[in-house]
């Protein structure tokens, strides 16, 4: 069985190297966002033309105008335009919810006669559209930046540990008036600790 020891060790070493390679590759593929664009909602208005509407002029003095809002936003303004370009109906104080059918109101300024007698009328609607921008990353850290960041964090963590342990060690039996000076000294030590100071107070 002894003659199998070396081949088993070799296989074990190759397997370990393979796993380390995979781990390194996975780490390299990890992307950390550096600059993020937050999610946002914006409102804008757009014009479109009605796809479904009807009129009932059986009573010319009080015709019925039914309009369907096929858009995904609220309609805020409606104009009825005849082929010559004349506006025969106008409403700008509206709020027609999406996918709703409503009977439109009339005002004294609207031309009921032209509305009832006109052919090829165009119904123009202005509606509100909400635009959603999802959160997304605009810039990623490079591998070099990540390594530098991790190293900086590691050093800062070590310095904090050395400073805190130094303060604890030197503050024993110290007066309150001396604490501030001890903190100043220990902070200076943590910036450039000696080997012995790292051994005594380091992580």
List, for residues 150-194, the tens digit of each pLDDT value.
999 999 999 999 999 988 888 888 888 888 888 999 899 999 999
Q: What is the number of other CB atoms lying within 10 angstroms of the CB of residue 147?
A: 11
Same domain, 112 and 185: no
DSSP 8-state symbol, 96: B
Q: Which two tokens stand for residue 1?
A: 């069985």
The helix (H) or strand (E) run that includes residue 68 is strand 64-68
User: Is residue 22 included in any domain, yes or no?
Assistant: no
pLDDT < 50 positions in the chain: 1-6, 22-26
What pLDDT, on a 0 to 100 scale, did the predictor assign at position 28? Answer: 53
User: Is residue 6 included in any domain, yes or no?
Assistant: no
DSSP-derived pairing of the beta strands 40-49 and 136-140? unpaired
The DSSP line for 151-169 is: HHHHHHHHHHHHHHHHHHH
pTM for the full model? 0.51
Same domain, 60 and 126: yes
Same domain, 128 and 64: yes
The total of structural domains in the chain comes to 2
**Three-class SS state of 30:** coil
The helix (H) or strand (E) run that includes residue 78 is strand 75-81
Q: Are the C-beta atoms of 69 and 100 separated by less than 8 Å?
A: yes
Same domain, 57 and 117: yes
What pLDDT, on a 0 to 100 scale, did the predictor assign at position 174? Answer: 80
Same domain, 123 and 152: no
How many residues belong to the chain?
203
What pLDDT, on a 0 to 100 scale, did the predictor assign at position 171? Answer: 86
Same domain, 56 and 106: yes
């Amino acid at each position: 069985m002894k003659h199998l020891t070396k081949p088993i060790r070799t296989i074990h070493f190759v397997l370990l190297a393979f796993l380390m390679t995979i781990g390194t590759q996975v780490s390299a593929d990890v992307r950390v966002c550096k600059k993020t664009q937050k999610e946002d909602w914006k409102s804008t208005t757009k014009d479109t033309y009605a796809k479904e509407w009807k009129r009932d002029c059986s009573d010319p003095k009080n015709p019925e105008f039914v309009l369907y809002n096929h858009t995904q936003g609220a309609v805020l303004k409606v104009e009825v335009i005849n082929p010559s370009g004349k506006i025969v109906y106008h409403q700008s104080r509206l709020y027609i919810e999406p996918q709703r059918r409503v009977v439109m109101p009339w005002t004294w300024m609207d031309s009921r006669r032209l509305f009832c007698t006109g052919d090829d009328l165009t119904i123009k609607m202005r509606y509100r559209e909400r635009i959603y921008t999802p959160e997304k990353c605009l810039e990623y850290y490079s591998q070099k930046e990540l390594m530098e960041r991790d190293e900086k964090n590691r050093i800062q963590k070590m310095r904090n540990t050395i400073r805190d342990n130094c303060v604890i060690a030197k503050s024993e039996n110290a007066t309150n008036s001396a604490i501030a000076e001890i903190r100043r000294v220990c902070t200076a030590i943590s910036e450039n600790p000696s080997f012995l100071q790292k051994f005594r107070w380091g992580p």
